[in-house]
Copies of this chain bind each other. A is one copy, B any other.
Amino acid sequence: MATGRTHRPATRSRGIPEATVARLPLYLRALTALSERSVPTVSSEELAAAAGVNSAKLRKDFSYLGSYGTRGVGYDVEYLVYQISRELGLTQDWPVVIVGIGNLGAALANYGGFASRGFRVAALIDADPAMAGKQVAGISVQHSDGLEKIISDNGVSIGVITTPPGVAQAVCDRLVAAGVTSILNFAPTVLTVPDGVDVRKVDLSIELQILAFHEQRKAGEEAAANENAVPAPAGRADSTDQGPDGDVPAVMPA
């Protein structure tokens, strides 16, 4: 999982559990694909398979939205697309700003998946004067001096932060002060925000480290299983051959 909600511990919204909310976009994506193939109805079993979840979980998730299925038949695809879209707030347009138009910010700006849902890139903002006026993805980059006015003029409530980590909190503070109440943070920093502001983070490095943990565990188990059979599985990254508990502390605690 690359993301992790910050803050807002268990604010079950209108009875819809947070875990369910996080899966609704998954269902919506699968349903949209079915809709494009003009499939009229779908069973919980089929849809669950397409979304990569358990069918019981899917049914329970949908039960929080209402009784939208027909027993013996399944769910009407178009109807469900509409209901989930409405529940997620995608029937309206959400203007978003991206702050920090470097490698990642530019990639996001160029990403078509934004507009395909109800999101519209309202502005690109960067602190580098050399960037101001440059066209990225057909949008002119604006200098961060005008951040507050841009937020206000466009009624932006969602901000994306792709600046270096050192300035992320400062950028976040300005966004919040200007009226932004939802932030998607790509900088590897813990952001502190007032109550009522939602922060979600995407941290590539954390994802890789979690994968590395499991990878190491798999290698350790494999080694334990093979015990001292063959020397090494040809070129695998276990050269140091430090057992899973090769406890050689670098520094002892005081």
Contact = CB atoms under 8 A, between A and B. Distances in A.
Nearest to A28: B209
A218 interface: yes
A200 B13 contact: no
Q: How large is the interface on A (under 10, 10 to 19, 20 to 34, 35 or more residues)?
A: 35 or more
Nearest to A156: B237
Contact of A14 (B13, B210, B217): B217
Contacts of A253: 68-70, 75-76, 79
Interface in A206-254: 206-218, 234-240, 242, 244, 246, 249-254
Contacts of A40: 254
A76 B251 contact: yes
B103 A110 contact: yes
Contacts of A184: 2, 204, 207-208, 211
Interface string A20-35: 0110111011100000
Q: How many copies of this kind of chain does the complex include? A: 2
Given A24-B213, A103-B110, A95 B153 contact: no
A52 interface: yes
Nearest to A13: B217
13 contacts: A1-B200, A2-B3, A2-B203, A13-B217, A25-B205, A68-B253, A92-B240, A96-B208, A104-B107, A108-B204, A154-B235, A158-B208, A184-B204
Interface of A: 1-6, 8, 13-14, 21-22, 24-26, 28-30, 40-41, 50-52, 68-70, 73, 75-76, 78-79, 82-83, 86-96, 103-104, 106-108, 110-111, 113-114, 116-119, 152-155, 157-158, 181-184, 188, 190, 192, 196, 198, 200-218, 234-240, 242, 244, 246, 249-254
